[in-house]
A and B are shown apart, each in its own frame.
Chain A
Amino acid sequence: MKKIYGSAAEALDGLLHDGMFIAAGGFGLCGIPELLLAAIKDAGTKDLTFASNNAGVDDFGIGILLQTRQVKKMISSYVGENAEFMRQYLSGELELEFNPQGTLAERMRAGGCGIPGFYTKTGVGTVIAEGKEHKEFNDQTYILERGIVADLSIVKAWKADETGNLIFRKTARNFNPPAAMCGKVCVVEVEEIVPTGSLEPDHIHLPGIYVHRIIQGEHEKRIEQRTTRKREDA
């Protein structure tokens, strides 16, 4: 089965519909599926719900879909870097469901693993626990969180082979594997597609079983907070 497509638009062809639920990888602007987000903007798909740790910045990442009002709801842990997001949220145009970061990651992982719910201590006694089932285990209180299954996953990896086995690079891995796992269909963008057989099987981070379509492209990979030290400090 051929998984490699020529462009982000081709790879998304037939997968997009208004009102759909998309899980996206990335942390801040690190490891975000920037080519697929741009293609979704061009496609004009509306009323999207995104499970994504962050919402990008005004002109990059999911932020570009906020500018075009394509997003109906965000499920995120932190959205502090985006003025347009705040404007739409405060005016009631955008729904927001805050999830603790680890709960969001585990909801994706669990959903992809066929686990519809799990109990966690995270958020007990806070607003996050309101309305959720509480249960005692060994004299500790836990709350029930639900697994996420998305209509579509969009993910960024470093390298893929032709069968979709993926390798990520440094902290750009972040939410990409759990996001990939939780989608009914998963489209991945990579910096390089290499011939099948050229990746060391022991070094695969995410097996191709989770990956349905792959594109290769040039990435801007914008840096959000450029922090450095002077050489003389060393």
Chain B
Amino acid sequence: MPWDRNQMAERAAQELEDGMYVNLGIGIPTLVANYVGDKDITLQSENGMLGMGPFPFEGEEDADLINAGKQTITELNRTAYFDSATSFGMIRGGKIAAAILGAMEVSETGDLANWMIPGKLVKGMGGAMDLVAGVGRVIVIMDHTNKHGDSKLLKECTLPLTGKAVVDRIITNLGVLDVTHKGLHIAELAPGVTREDMIAATEAAIV
């Protein structure tokens, strides 16, 4: 059985080590916070916060306290606030150990496309280009194929890039792949998925 989105998030949480400062993207990456267990992980929200807490109780929402997805959240006893220039200073400066992000396409050389589909409504890249260029390690979580069954792991991305050669590891419903200088290397297969299944579902070179 390939992994479902919660299992992908649970697998991604294994990438995080005690003491790490981490930025989680919107969508499945947000679920990773549910699986960090006892590890001492500090979540960064790029609108200006380290130490992001859970959603508030009903009635305790604060308009001045939101995450990068503009959702109301809470603070923790470790929380620190700062301005956007400082926030992206720590991102650009490599102080954030890892970012876990969604993607539309990833290439075999680690190019990432996740911000724009030409001809469709363009909303903007937000902080995604800064994150992939700056953080220590970029981990992508995404479905292995699109809704037409086509591989999202490509020889070359067809969509406009968010960053070139920026992805380190990809976690899909079929398993875990690392970007190497020769191509993608299978690090782990989801239960019941064979290496042949993975190769058949992947356009990018697997080594």
**Cα separation A78 to B56 with both chains bound (whole Å):** 25
| Contact indicator A176/B134 (Cβ below 8 Å) | no
Q: How many residues of B contact A (CB 8 A)?
A: 54
Which of A14-22, A43-51, A103-111, A194-202 lies on the face that meets chain B? A103-111
Given contacts A30-B47, A105-B88, contact A125 B163 (CB under 8 A): yes
Q: Which of B's residues lie within 8 Å of A, judged by CB?
A: 45-49, 54-67, 69-73, 75, 81-85, 87-89, 91-92, 111, 121-130, 133-134, 160-165
Given contacts A27-B47, A101-B46, A126-B163, contact A86 B121 (CB under 8 A): yes
One of A80, A125, A175 near B84 (C-beta < 8 A): A175
Cβ-closest chain A residue relative to B94: A121
Chain B residues with CB under 8 A of A106: 85, 88-89, 92
Q: Which of A's residues lie within 8 Å of B, judged by CB?
A: 27-31, 53, 76-81, 86, 98, 100-103, 105-106, 108-109, 120-128, 158, 168-178, 205, 221-231, 234
Q: Which 5 A-B pairs have the closest CB atoms?
A: A102-B88, A125-B164, A80-B123, A102-B130, A78-B124
| Contact indicator B92/A126 (Cβ below 8 Å) | no
One of A98, A224, A228 near B125 (C-beta < 8 A): A98
15 contacts between A and B (CB under 8 A): A77-B125, A78-B124, A80-B123, A105-B85, A120-B133, A121-B134, A126-B162, A170-B49, A171-B48, A174-B84, A177-B83, A178-B85, A205-B83, A223-B72, A227-B56
One of B73, B81, B133 near A121 (C-beta < 8 A): B133
Most chain A beta carbons < 10 A, residue from B46, B47, B122, B123: B47
Q: Is the interface of B mostly helix, strand, loop or mixed?
A: loop
Chain B residues with CB under 8 A of A230: 57-58
| Contact indicator A30/B133 (Cβ below 8 Å) | no
| Contact indicator A122/B134 (Cβ below 8 Å) | yes
| Contact indicator A105/B71 (Cβ below 8 Å) | no
Chain A residues with CB under 8 A of B64: 30-31, 158, 169-172, 221
**Cα separation A169 to B134 with both chains bound (whole Å):** 27
Give the A-B contact count at a CB cut-off of 8 A.
181
One of B66, B127, B161, B164 near A102 (C-beta < 8 A): B127
Query: In the assembled complex, how far is the CB of residue A102 from the closest CB belonging to chain B, in whole angstroms?
Result: 3
Chain B residues with CB under 8 A of A122: 92, 129-130, 133-134
One of A79, A171, A221, A225 near B124 (C-beta < 8 A): A79
Most chain B beta carbons < 10 A, residue from A79, A177, A228, A234: A228
Chain B residues with CB under 8 A of A234: 57
Chain B residues with CB under 8 A of A121: 92, 133-134
Chain A residues with CB under 8 A of B49: 170-171
**Cα separation A105 to B48 with both chains bound (whole Å):** 11
- Beyond A124-B133, A170-B62, A223-B66, 16 additional contacts (C-beta under 8 Å) are A31-B64, A77-B127, A78-B124, A102-B87, A102-B88, A102-B127, A106-B88, A122-B133, A168-B83, A171-B47, A171-B48, A171-B65, A173-B82, A222-B63, A227-B55, A231-B58
Chain A residues with CB under 8 A of B89: 102, 106
| Contact indicator B54/A225 (Cβ below 8 Å) | no
Chain A residues with CB under 8 A of B165: 125
**Cα separation A158 to B64 with both chains bound (whole Å):** 10
Query: In the assembled complex, how far is the CB of residue A224 from the closest CB belonging to chain B, in whole angstroms?
Result: 4
Chain B residues with CB under 8 A of A123: 129, 133
| Contact indicator A101/B88 (Cβ below 8 Å) | yes
Chain A residues with CB under 8 A of B129: 100, 103, 122-123, 126, 128
